[in-house]
Structure 1
Amino acid sequence: MVSSEKVIRVHIVDDDPTDFVILDELLSGSTRFRFELSHLSTIEEARQELLDPECDVFLIDYFLGRGTARDLLMEARKLHCTIPIVVLTGANSPQLDDEVLELGAADFLPKDELSLPLLERTIVHAIRHKRTELELERMVKRDPLTGLGNRLLFEEILESSLARCKRSGGKLAVLFMDLDRFKEINDSLGHPTGDLLLLLISDRLRSVIREADFIARIGGDEFTILIEELHSVNDALSVAHKVVSAVSYPSPVGGHELNVSASIGLAIYPENGNTPIKLMQKADLALYEAKRSGLNKVQCFTANLQTQLEKHLYLEKGLRYALENDQFDLHLQPQWTLEGQKVIGFEALLRWRYGAEGMVSPADFIPVAEKTGLIVPIGEWVLSRACQYLKEWQLLGINNCRIAINVSPLQLKAGKFVDALESIALAEGVSADLLEVEITEESLLDGIEEHGRVSTELSRLRGLGIKIAIDDFGTGYSSLRYLRQFPADVVKIDKSFVSSDREELFEPDICKAIVTMAESLSMEVIAEGIETPTQLLELQQLGCLLGQGFLVSRPLTFEEASQWALAGRPSPA
C-alpha cells in the first residue's frame, strides 16, 4: 500500500524544461499524495541514476535527444532495476505503447491526455505493481531452506554489479564455497540433520559478510558470495579466510557436535572475466582445485587453471562437433565365465579420436560431457549404436549376448532416458532386455539420495527386464541399506581390488567380502581387470563366476566382437 503520508519521490527524465514544469504544476496540486520531483535533462544523467536510483518512480519522455526511452528501459533491464518506469510521449503510436511495455515499462501515457488524477493513479499503480512483482520474484529466487538467494538471483545481482563496476572502474570478487564431506553427514545422520547444519552455516556466512555483499545457496551444500568494492585480491582472500574460519567452528546440530570445514574458489573482475558466466565458471574451477588440494582450502583462479579451462572449452567444442559429425566409436570388451571363458556379453566402451590429440581418454572427456550436459545426447548416441549392434547380431543369429552400457546419473535425472531407450530399441527392432545398464556405486547412491527421478528411472528399467549393474563397487561410500532399498542385479568388483603389479589378487579379502555380500542379495558378480591366470584362479576359489579383463581380451571393434560372439555362443541343446 502506498501511504498518502509518505513522500513519493519522482524522477522526471525529459530534455524539455517546459514539460517538466507542466508535470511539476500538475503533481504539486495533489491533495491525496505528497510528490517530490527531481529533473534529469539528459539520457546520460538518467543512465547514471539507474545504477543506484534514489526515487520511487521514473517518468521518462520517450524521445531524449538522440536517444529514446527504449535505451533506458534496456539498460534498466540489464541492471535489474527495481524502480518502476512510466514512459511519456507526445506521439500517438500504439506501436510505441506495445514496444515499451514489452521492454518492461510499467505504463505508457500520451502527454496530451495528462491530468492529475491520471498521473496519481498511474504512479501509485506502477509502484504497487512493482512491489508485488518483486515480492513474487523474491519467492521464486530464494532458497526455501535458508532464505538466501538462489542461482538465478545471484546471476542477476552479479550482472548488475558488473555493470556498476564497468562504469566506476571498480573490482569485485565471486566466491564459490562448498562444505567438505557434507554428503557423509547426510548419509550417516540423515537429511534433517544436514538441513539444520546448512541453516547454521548460512547464519555464520551472514555474520561475516558485509551488508553490501550478497550470499546465495546454489546447490545442496554449495554457496556463492559476491564481494563488491574491492581494492585488491587480498581483500577477497581476507573475506574467504574469514568464511573458512567461521565455518570451521564446532557445530552443535541435532544432538551432535559436528566438525565441518569448507573449500573456496574465487575469481576477480576484471582480471578473470567480465561476464557472470565467465566469473562463475572460473570460481567453480578454482573451487574444484581447492578441493583437490585437501580440506579447508582457499584457491584463486590462476594461469594454470586458465590452461585447464581452455582445455575444457577445447574438448567441449570437439564433443559438440563429434556429436554432429558422428565421430565417436563404440568398442566392446567381452564378459565371460571364469570356468571355460565362455562369452556371456560385452561392456560397451566409448572411444573418441579428436584431431591432433589422437585418442582422448574417457577420463578427460566424460567429466567435460557431464559438466556441459552433453552426456545426455552422447548417451543417446551410445544407446542407438548399441541397439544397431544388437540388430546386426540378430541377423547373424546371435540372440543371447547382452551389451552393458555405462550411464551417468545426469542421464537418469533428465527423466527421459528410459523413454529414449524404449524408442531406440523399438526403432531398431531389438529387445530392450538385451541391454544392461551400468552405473557407478557412488553415482547410484548420490542419485537415489538426492533425486527421486533416478530411482524412478532405474525402477522402470528393471520393469523392462533390463539388468542394472553397480560398477566400481567397493570404491565409494558403501551402504548395504541402499542396496536393500534398491537391489541391483549385478555387482562389478572394481579392478583396483583385482589387479596390480603382481600375479595374485591385490585385495583378496575385499573381493571375498563383495562376493559374499552379492550372494546374500542374490546378485551376480563380475570381476573387472583380470590380467593373470593366478588372479582368475583365486577369484574362482572365492566363488566368483564371471569376469572381464585383458587376460582374455582387450576392448574390441564391433567386427572383432561379432567373431567372439559367434565363437563363444553356447552350442544348441
Structure 2
Amino acid sequence: MADPSPIRLLLIEDSNIDAMFVTRLLQSNPEITFEIDHATTLADALVLLREIEFDASLVDLHLPDAVELEGFEQIRALDARIPIVVFTGSDDENLALRAIESGAQDVMAKGHVTGQMLFRAVRFAIARQLKVMGFKADADTDPLTGMPNRRQLESQFVEMHAAAQQNHQAMTLALFDVDHFKRVNDAHGHFIGDAVLKEIAKVLLDSIAEGMLASRFGGEEFALLMPGSDIEQAATLVSAILEKLAQNPLTLDSLTITVTASAGLIAVKDGESWGTAYIACDEALYEAKTSGRNRFVINSRKPYPGTARI
C-alpha cells in the first residue's frame, strides 16, 4: 500500500545532468511521491536547510565550495536530525567508510544505482535516523529552536480542533513572520540569524498558556494554536507578543538588534480543515506585511474591526 505522505528531499549535486538523473529515478517509483529541492552548492543548500524542513538529504561529496566530507559535516552541524545519503562518483572505499563513521546513513555510487536501490536507500535512511534520534519525538521537533515543527502543528491542529468542538470551545490560529529577517542575515550572518530565531521562539513559548501550541512553521515563520481562546482573547495575546518583541531589543554577541514581527489571526471555523485555516490566516499575515509590518491583521471572514498596530 502506498504511503500517502510525500518525502521532502534536499538534493545537493553540482551536476545538473546527475541531478536530473536522480530526480527521474526517484519520481519513477510509484510507491511514494518525492518533493525534491535541488542545490548546486553547499552555500545554497545551507540556505534551504534554514528555511525548509526536509525529510532527508542526498549529498554529493564533491561540490565546488566543499571538499569531500566538509559539506557533509556542515550540514550535520546545522541539522543533526536530517538523514543523509551520500551519492558520489568516487569509488574510494575509505571515503565512503569515513562518511558512514561521520553519520551518513548510506553511501551510493552514481554509476551503480537503480531507482529501486535509491528509493530504498532514502526510505531506510529515514527509518534508521528516526531510531537514532528518538523516533517520532525528534521527527516532530524543529532542530534549531526545539519547538514543535510544522508536521506536529498540522497533526495537533486536527486533534485540538476536534477536542475544542467537542467541548464547545473556540479555537484561534495565528501565524507570525519576522519583519525584514533577510536583512539580519545579510548584515550579521546566519549564526546571528539563527540566534534571533531562538530568542523569538523563547518569547512565544514564555507567552502562551497551558494547552496552547507554539510552533516554528518554517524559515522565519512561527505559528500559535490557541484552543479555548476566542478572537478577542487571541488578539490580546498576539498584540502582547508583538509589543514584547518590538520593545525589547535582543543582545547577541555584543550586538543589539531590534526585531519586530507581523501576524495574521483567524478564528477557526467548525469542521474547518488545516489547509483552509492556514490559507485564511496566511492571507491576514500577508495583509499585515504589506500594510506596514509590526502589526497583526484579523481575517475574520465576517465584518470585524480586525487590525491593530503596535
* Normalised-by-shorter TM-score class: 0.5 to 0.7
C-alpha distance in structure 2 between counterparts of 1:169 and 1:211, whole Å: 18
What does residue 283 of structure 1 align with?
Answer: 281
What does residue 82 of structure 2 align with?
Answer: none
What does residue 162 of structure 1 align with?
Answer: 161
User: 1:259/1:297 Cα in 2 relative to 1: closer, same or farther (>3 Å)?
Assistant: same
Deviation at 1:134, TM superposition (A): 11
Match status 1:171 vs 2:151: no
Whether the 8 Å CA contact 2:267–2:300 is kept in 1: the answer is: no
Whether the 8 Å CA contact 1:196–1:254 is kept in 2: the answer is: no
Match status 1:216 vs 2:219: no
- Structure 2's unaligned 5+ residue stretches are 1-130, 304-310
Deviation at 1:302, TM superposition (A): 3.8
Q: Deviations over 1:126-152 (max 9, x none)?
A: xxxxxx899511101110000001111
SS of 2:218's partner is coil
What does residue 139 of structure 1 align with?
Answer: 138
Identity across aligned pairs (percent)? 28
C-alpha distance in structure 2 between counterparts of 1:133 and 1:169, whole Å: 41
Deviation at 1:212, TM superposition (A): 1.4
Deviation at 1:275, TM superposition (A): 1.4
What does residue 198 of structure 1 align with?
Answer: 197
Match status 1:294 vs 2:296: no
Whether the 8 Å CA contact 1:263–1:298 is kept in 2: the answer is: yes
Deviation at 1:256, TM superposition (A): 0.8
What residue identity is the alignment partner of 1:221?
Answer: E
Deviation at 1:211, TM superposition (A): 2.5
C-alpha distance in structure 2 between counterparts of 1:169 and 1:216, whole Å: 24
SS of 1:218's partner is strand
Q: Deviations over 1:230-287 (max 9, x none)?
A: 2x3110101110110122111111221001101000111227x711111111111110
C-alpha distance in structure 2 between counterparts of 1:157 and 1:134, whole Å: 21
Whether the 8 Å CA contact 2:164–2:170 is kept in 1: the answer is: yes
What does residue 254 of structure 2 align with?
Answer: 255
Q: Deviations over 1:122-177 (max 9, x none)?
A: xxxxxxxxxx8995111011100000011110000010011112212211111000
Whether the 8 Å CA contact 2:216–2:223 is kept in 1: the answer is: yes
Under a length normalisation based on structure 1, what TM-score does the superposition of the two structures give? 0.29
User: 1:302/1:211 Cα in 2 relative to 1: closer, same or farther (>3 Å)?
Assistant: closer
SS of 1:174's partner is strand
User: 1:170/1:180 Cα in 2 relative to 1: closer, same or farther (>3 Å)?
Assistant: same
Q: Deviations over 1:26-68 (max 9, x none)?
A: xxxxxxxxxxxxxxxxxxxxxxxxxxxxxxxxxxxxxxxxxxx
Q: Deviations over 1:360-385 (max 9, x none)?
A: xxxxxxxxxxxxxxxxxxxxxxxxxx
Whether the 8 Å CA contact 1:205–1:246 is kept in 2: the answer is: no
What does residue 263 of structure 2 align with?
Answer: 264
Q: Which has the higher contact order (CA 8 A, sep 6+)?
A: 2
1:118-517 equivalences under 5 Å are 135-230=134-229, 232-248=230-246, 249-270=248-269, 274-303=272-301
1:13-92 equivalences under 5 Å are none
C-alpha distance in structure 2 between counterparts of 1:279 and 1:134, whole Å: 32
Aligned-residue RMSD, C-alpha: 2.1
Under a length normalisation based on structure 2, what TM-score does the superposition of the two structures give? 0.53
Whether the 8 Å CA contact 1:162–1:275 is kept in 2: the answer is: no
Aligned residues: 172
User: 1:298/1:204 Cα in 2 relative to 1: closer, same or farther (>3 Å)?
Assistant: same
SS of 1:170's partner is coil
C-alpha distance in structure 2 between counterparts of 1:166 and 1:303, whole Å: 19
- Structure 1's unaligned 5+ residue stretches are 1-131, 306-573
Q: Deviations over 1:170-191 (max 9, x none)?
A: 1111100011001100011100
